[in-house]
Structure 1
C-alpha cells in the first residue's frame, strides 16, 4: 500500500469513536435478527464512501456478493490504518465491524484476531448468508495479506 494515500480521504470512526467493545455491547442487547440487520445498516451509514480514485481494481476484493474495496496504511508507530468501502449496505455494515476490530493495530495483533468468533459474539455468524460469509472470509484474507506485506 502506498503510504502517500491521502489520510483524510480514508478517515472513519471505527476503532476510535466506535469501538469493537461498544459494538459488542450494542449487539448483545438486540435479540431479533431484524434489529441486528437494522444496526448493520446504521453502521454502514457511518462509514464514509471512499473517493473513486481509491476504488481501484487492486483494492477490490473478489469473492464478495457486493463490490468491496480494502486498503491499508502502515503508520509510523507500526500500527495500521485500515479503510474500505462496499456498494452493499449489509456488506458495508459487516466491513465496519472488521474495521472496528483492526483499526490502529499492529500486523501481529491483526493476525491474532479471530473475526469469525467476533461475528459469532455479535450474533451474526448464523444469520448472514453463505455468500456473505464467503465475502467476509475474503475480506479477512485480504486484510491479513495487506498487513503481512510490511
Structure 2
C-alpha cells in the first residue's frame, strides 16, 4: 500500500468533528482544502481532538496528527516533536501546497494546545 492510500485509510478512522463545529473557529487557515480540527478537554485535562476535511489526503494528514497528539496533556502537544514526518519521508511526497497545509495544521494545533495549557 502506498503512502497516499495509507493516508486515505487513516482519514477514514479520524475521530469526526461534529458538523456544528465545522466553522471558522475550528478551521485550519493556510490549507488549500477545508480542514477543521477541534481540541477539547478530556479526562485529566488531556486534549481530545476531532477533525475532518473535504479532501481525502488532507483528512488523512489530519488523522495522522490527531492519532499522535490525541489524549495528551496540552503542554505535551504544544511541545511535541513531529520530526518523524520528515523521517518517514512524508513531506518529500507531498506537493508544496499540501506541505504548507501540513505545517499550518501542526502550528495551529500546537497554538490551540498552548492556549489550553
> TM (normalized to structure 2)?
0.89
Coordinate RMSD, CA, aligned = 1.5
Q: Work out the CA distance in 1 between the residues paired with 2:24 and 2:111.
A: 16
Q: Work out the CA distance in 2 between the residues paired with 1:73 and 1:102.
A: 12
| Counterpart position of 2:4 | 37
Does 95-104 or 140-149 show the bigger shift?
A: 140-149
| Counterpart position of 2:31 | 64
2:104 corresponds to 1:138:
yes
> TM (normalized to structure 1)?
0.71
| Counterpart position of 1:25 | none
2:47 corresponds to 1:80:
yes
Q: Work out the CA distance in 1 between the residues paired with 2:24 and 2:48.
A: 20
Matched residues, number: 116
Moved >4 Å (runs of 4+): none
Kept after mapping to 1: 8 A contact 2:30/2:100: yes
Return the index of the structure with the highest Cα Rg. Answer: 1
2:80 corresponds to 1:113:
yes
Deviations 1:72-101 (A, max 9, x none): 112241211011111110011111110011
Q: Work out the CA distance in 2 between the residues paired with 1:103 and 1:48.
A: 10
Q: Work out the CA distance in 2 between the residues paired with 1:142 and 1:48.
A: 18
Q: Which runs of 5+ in 1 are unaligned?
A: 1-29
